[in-house]
Structure 1
Amino acid sequence: MPKQKIRNMEEFAAVSGISRPTLSKYFNNPDSVRKSTRERIEIALDEHDYRPNVYAMNQNRQTTRNIGIILPYLADPFFNEIGRAVEVTCIEAGYSPILLSSHGKPELEAENLDSLRSLKPAGVLLAPFGRGSDRKAIEKIGRDVPLVLFDANISDTGEAFIGTDNFQSVGLIVEYLCRSGEPPCFFEMETPSNPNAFKRRQAYQESMAQHGYTAHIFQAQGEGWDFEEIGLTEGGAMLRKSIFPTNTILCSNDRLAIGMLAAAYNLGLKVGHGKGCSLRIAGHDDHPFSRFTCPSLTTVAQDYAAIAERAASTLFRIIETSEAPATRLETLFEGKLVMRDSA
C-alpha cells in the first residue's frame, strides 16, 4: 500500500501522535527537545516520508543573509579557486559568505555543518567528501535550510547537485590520447579521497572499450590529500619497474600527474609528444599549476567558474522563492580538452 501523503504539519502531528508545538520546537532546533522525543520524531519522519516546508517556516522568523560554504580541503588550489568564485558570487548577490574548510577530515566536515546550524544561515553550499561524509549530518542541516551540493555528489541529498560530467570529460581525453599516440593506462590512488575518482575510472574503462582497447588500471597505495607525493613516490616506483604496457599514462587528477612528471624527471625520462620523448602524461581538472609544469600538462579543464555560479544561483533562487524544487536538480558541465606539451 502506498504511504499516505502528509500535506502539512497538522496532519503529521495527527498521524505521529506528537503535538504541533513540540514538532515546531524540533524543526526550529532539534536539540531543543528531549532525546527520546527527538528519536520518536525522526522515526515518524522516516515512517511517513514527511518533510516540512522549512523555507516557508523561515519566512515567519528572522533569517540571516549568511551563506555557509564548506570545502573539503582549502589548501588544494582547485578548491581554493572554486571557493573564491563561490564567495564572490555570494557577495555580488548581497549575501555574506561563511567559508569553512574541513582540512581533509570527514569528521571536521560534520563539525562544520553543526557549527553552521547554530549561525542559522539562509542556505548552505557544500562540496562534500562523498563516501567519507557523515550523511546524517548533511541530511540534518538539509532539514533546516536549503542545501546545494557541488563538485562531489551524494545521491538524494540536498535540493540540487552541480558538477562536472566525468564520463564526457574522461571520454574526451581518452579519445584524444588514443588518436594521437598509444592508448593510455590509468593511474589512480587505491583509496581515493574524492568520489569523482570512481566515476573517472569507470569512464576510462568504458571509453577504452568503445575504442577497442584493453583498459590497464594501476593503483597507488596511500590515502589523503598528498597527491603529488603519491604520484612522485608510487608513480616513480612503477616507472622504474617499467610496468606500464604503453607509453601513455592518464592520471585520475592533475595533482597525481604533477607528481608523476617529477618522478619521470628524476628518472631521466623525457615527457611529451615530440622527438626523443619516451613517455606521455596527462591529467584531469586543469589545476591552476598545470600550465606551469615542465613540460606543461595536457589535461581536461573543469569549468569551476560555471559550477560555482550555478550552484550559488540555484541556492539563491530556492531561498528567495521559499520553494524547494519538486525533484532534486542535477546539472553537469562538460569538460574542455586542454592540449599542452606533456601529451
Structure 2
Amino acid sequence: MAKKNYKSMDDFATAAGVSRPTLSKYFDDPSQIKEVTRKRIEAALRKSHFEPNLFARHLNRKRTRNIGILVPTMSDPFYVQVVSLIELELREKGFWPVQISSHTRPELEAEAVRTLLSLKVAGAIVAPLGAGSRRSALERLRDAIPVVCFDNPADADLPYVGNDNAQSMAAIVQYLCRSGEPPIFLEIPHMTENAGERQAGYRATMAREGHSPLVIDCDAPPSWEFERLGYEQMQRILANGSLPGKTLLCANDRFAFGAMAAAFASGLKIGRNDACDVRIAGHDDHPLSRYTCPSLTTMAQNAPEIAAKSVELLLAHIESEDDGTTPVTNKVILEATLVMRESA
C-alpha cells in the first residue's frame, strides 16, 4: 500500500486523530505524551511520508532546538573531526546542529553571525578567526544568545574550551631534548592566541631544560595555508646554506607537513635514527599526521573531549539563562598527549 503524503502539521494531526499541540509536543519529546497517544502517532507516521518542518515549527518560538556551529574552514580535517563530534553530541541531546564556515574571511564570519541570529538558534559553538575576527560581530552574537568558543578564545569574554598549550609544549620539548638535539621552533603567523601560547611554552620549557631557545619566525604574510607556509619557510632556511639544527619543532602539524615536504624535496632524510638528517615534530595530531612519510611525532589534542565539553558548557549556559542562574564553569582547558612516531 502506497504511503500517504500530508502538506502540513495540521493535516497530519487530523489524520492521526490528535490535536496540533499534542503532535508538536510529540516531536519535541515523545515521553511528554501518553503511551497510547504516542503509539497512535507512530502508527500514522509508518503509513505516511510525513516529516515535520523543524524550521517552520521553531520560527515563532522564543527558543529553538537549533544550535549554530561556526568554524574558520571545513577544509581542515581537525575542524571536520571536532565539528562531526559536536554534531553527534548535539543530536544525542535533542538539538539540531546548523553548521557554517567563514572560509577564513572576516566578512563571512560576520555574515555567518547574522545568519545564525536570523535562524533564531538557541546558542552557538564557535571557533573564531582570532586576530581577523570582527569583535563587534562576536559581541553581537554574545549579547543575543549563549555562545561557547573552542580552539581559539575570542576577545569578547566568552566561555572557552581549548588545549593547555603550556602543558603540551612542555611535554614535546622535554621529549625532544631528552631523545636528541634540543629543538628549534618554527613559528607560524600569530593569527590566534594558540600561536603565542605555544611559543611561550617552548621558550619556558627550553629554559627549564637548560637550553637557549631559538625561534625562527615565519617570513610570510599571515595566511591559513599552513602547508604552503611551512614548505616555503623550509625552502628559505635551506637556501641560506644549511639547517640551523637537527631537530625542528613546528607550531602546528600542517606547517610541519610543508616543512617535511620541502626537506624531502631537498634530499634530506627525516627521522629519529642516527642515519637521518633532521627530526621534525608538530602539534595537534592532525588526522593526517599518522599518514605522512615518515609519520609525524606530535601532541594530540583531545578532540572528543573538546567536542563534549563545548556542548556541555553551552547547554549549561542555555539552561542557566532560562533559570536565571549563573553557570559554574566558563573555561575548560584540556591536556594533550604525546604521540611518538617516526619523524622525531
Query: Is TM > 0.5 for Structure 1 vs Structure 2?
Result: yes
One-letter amino acid of the structure 2 residue matched with residue 335 of structure 1: A
Contact 1:130 1:152 in 2 (8 A): yes
Distance between the aligned counterparts of 1:246 and 1:290, measured in 2?
Answer: 22
Q: Does structure 2 conserve the Cα–Cα contact (< 8 Å) formed by 1:247 and 1:278? A: yes
Q: Which amino acid aligns with 1:167?
A: A
The aligned counterpart of 1:64 is 64
Partner of residue 180, structure 1: 179
For 2:333, the aligned partner's letter is L
Cα drift, residue 61 of structure 1: 5.4
Alpha-carbon separation, structure 2, partners of 1:280 and 1:134: 39
Counterpart residue identity of residue 305, structure 1 = P
- Asked if residue 239 in structure 1 is aligned to residue 273 in structure 2, the reply is no
Check conservation: 2:316, 2:327, Cα contact below 8 A: no
Is the 2:313–2:330 contact (alpha carbons within 8 Å) kept by the matching residues of 1? Answer: no
| Residue of structure 1 equivalent to 2:84 | 84
Give yes or no for contact 1:192–1:223 (8 Å, CA) kept in 2. yes
Contact 2:253/2:285, CA 8 A, preserved across alignment:
yes
Alignment of structure 1 residues 134-145 onto 2, 5 Å? 134-145=134-145
- Tell me how far 1:62 sits from its aligned partner: 2.8
Query: Gaps spanning 5+ residues in structure 2: where?
Result: 1-59
- Over the matched positions of the two proteins, sequence identity in percent amounts to 43
> What's the offset of the Cα at 1:105?
0.8
**Which segment is superposed worse, 283-292 or 313-322?**
313-322
Q: Distance in 1 between matches of 2:198 and 2:331?
A: 18
Q: Specify the alignment match of 2:56 in structure 1.
A: none
CA distance in 1, matches of 2:85, 2:110: 23
Give the structure 2 partner of residue 212 of structure 1: 210
Give the SS at the match of 1:97. strand
- Report what 1:119 is aligned to: 119
| Counterpart secondary structure, 1:143 | helix
Q: 1:236: Cα distance to partner?
A: 2.1
2: CA distance between counterparts of 1:211 and 1:324?
Answer: 46
> Which structure 1 residue ranges, 5 or more long, are not aligned?
1-59
Kept in 2, the 8 Å contact 1:192–1:224? The answer is: no
- 1:80 Cα offset (Å): 1.0
Deviation at 1:325, TM superposition (A): 3.3
Letter in 2 for 1:181: G
Alpha-carbon distance in structure 2 between the residues aligned to 1:324 and 1:286: 38
Matched positions, count: 282
Q: With structure 1 as the length reference, what TM-score do the two structures score? A: 0.79
Residue 229 in structure 1 maps to residue 252 in structure 2: no
CA shift, 1:139, in A, is 1.2
Give the Å deviation of 1:155: 4.5
Separation in 1 of the partners of 2:316 and 2:133?
26
Residue pair 1:146, 1:324 contacting (<8 A) in 2 also? no
Aligned residue number for residue 163 of structure 1: 162
Matches within 5 A, 1:1-343: 62-155=62-155, 157-158=157-158, 160-189=159-188, 191-220=189-218, 221-242=220-241, 244-321=243-320, 322=322, 323=324, 325=326, 329-343=330-344
The CA deviation string for residues 248-298 of structure 1, in whole angstroms up to 9 with x for no partner, is 000000001011111111111111111311100000000011100000000
In terms of Rg, which structure is larger? 2
CA distance, structure 2, for counterparts of residue 64 and residue 324 of structure 1? 20
Checking the alignment, whether the CA contact within 8 Å between 1:222 and 1:230 is kept in structure 2 is no
Post-superposition offset of 1:88: 1.1
Deviation of 1:192 after TM superposition, in Å, equals 3.3
Q: Which amino acid aligns with 2:276?
A: C
Shift of 1:199: 0.8
Contact 1:152-1:195 within 8 A present in 2 as well: yes
Q: How far apart are the structure 2 equivalents of 1:148 and 1:243?
A: 45
- Give the Cα–Cα distance (whole angstroms) in 2 for the partners of residues 324 and 126 of structure 1: 23
In the superposition, the TM-score normalised over structure 2's length comes to 0.78
Letter matched to residue 317 of structure 1: A
Q: CA deviation at 1:107?
A: 1.8
- Secondary structure of 2:316's partner? helix
- Aligned partners of 1:230, 1:318: CA distance in 2, in Å? 39
Query: What code does the residue aligned with 2:222 have?
Result: E
CA distance in 2, matches of 1:239, 1:91: 49
Pair 1:153–1:243, CA change in 2 (3 A): farther
- Cα distance change of structure 1 residues 103 and 266 upon mapping to structure 2, 3 Å threshold: same
SS of 1:261 mapped into structure 2: helix
From the superposition, tell whether residues 100 and 275 of structure 1 become closer, same or farther in structure 2 (CA, over 3 Å).
Answer: same
Q: Deviations over 1:151-195 (max 9, x none)?
A: 10125522x100000010011100000010010001022x33332
